Amino acid sequence: MMHCHAGSVNPPASAAQKGKAPYRVSYEKSIDLVLAASREYFNSSASLTDSCMDLARCCLQLVSDRPPAIQAELDLIQAVGCLEEFGVKILPLQVRLCSDRVGLIKDCVCQSPACYKQAAKLLGLAELLRVAGEDPEERRGQVLILLVEQALRFHDYKAASVHCQELMAAGYSKSWDVCSQLGQSEGFQDLASRQELMAFALTHCPPGSIEPLLAASSSLQTEILYQRVNFQIHRAGEESVSAGPFLSKVLPECTCAYLPSCTYNLALEVSMPLCVCAACTGSHGKVPLRSHWATLAAELERAMHCPLPPCAIRV
């Protein structure tokens, strides 16, 4: 069998050979002949292990420099093997005739549900299949969207978040839908990331989706504010424990038998008993109750390093 490469040229015919056909075909013609033979064997194969597939590969290996057309055929043979690894049973001819190559990646996800964790392998398969033609960014975007959707089905928010971050970093606008899905997933506890996802979705979504996404984004923003407030309250509550010595200095002792009947919620949920007995209200010469709270507020302000609102100082 002959080997061909780009440097192959027709040698000059000798005087004895003049008028006779050249004994070598042109490089371009060689490529066409090799491709035709290889495709014939490939299309006749029942699987990757079929002997015809070996013959198809041998034909392609005759061309040493591997131009794009030859490489595409070799990649197609390798893709058939990858599909079988993911459990996709399909004839090689069906792979060749499939116009929607990303559909083959979907078949892999359906046959091997956990394969969304094998992002590199699926992206490699997409390249072998020439998903989205020669546009690598579109190819990567389409595959990552499939992986995010599958990760969300398994509630694997970490994996979904990683791929969404890749999509947003690439500015792949078609991913707005999966980004909004993850942004609205209550099981995903990273509120800051969810807010970023919703902002991306709002930026790239069609006009008809703006209103519901705005509502979801507003609800998420409210949740974030509540979380921040609760954090501040919790921190202030811990700091208020250290303010105990201040309180003991400020509040007079009440030795009466009257038990406090209610509590007063000071700012940041600092609760203190509210006694209304005669001793504590000042009728026996004690400090008036209003002065108790005014002094307490000042001490708490110094202890916690944050001003208290005026509404906190009242009887």
Which residues constitute the domain of residue 37? 23-97
Cβ density class 229-262: b for 16+ within 10 Å, e for less? eeeeeeebeebbeebeebbeebbeeeeeeeeeee
pLDDT digits 0-9 by tens, 23-75: 688 999 999 999 999 999 999 999 999 999 999 999 999 999 999 999 999 99
CB 168 within 8 A of CB 200: yes
DSSP 12: P
Residue 150 CB neighbour total at 10 angstroms: 22
pLDDT digits 0-9 by tens, 204-234: 999 999 999 999 999 999 999 988 887 777 6
Residue 49 falls inside a structural domain: yes
Residue 288 falls inside a structural domain: yes
Q: Which two tokens stand for residue 97?
A: 């005739």
Q: What's the rounded Cα separation, in Å, for the pair 197 and 232?
A: 25
Asked if the model's pLDDT at residue 109 lies above 80, the reply is yes
Residue 200 falls inside a structural domain: no
CB 62 within 8 A of CB 3: yes
pLDDT digits 0-9 by tens, 183-196: 999 999 999 999 99
Residue 273 falls inside a structural domain: yes
Q: Which two tokens stand for residue 209?
A: 């989706």
Residue 233 falls inside a structural domain: no
Out of 97, 117, 145, a domain closes at: 97
- Residue with the bigger pLDDT between 80 and 246: it is 80
Q: Could you tell me which of 69, 81, 8 has the C-alpha nearest to residue 35?
A: 69
Residue 28 falls inside a structural domain: yes
Out of 82, 97, 112, a domain closes at: 97
Total domains, the chain? 2
Residue 218 falls inside a structural domain: no
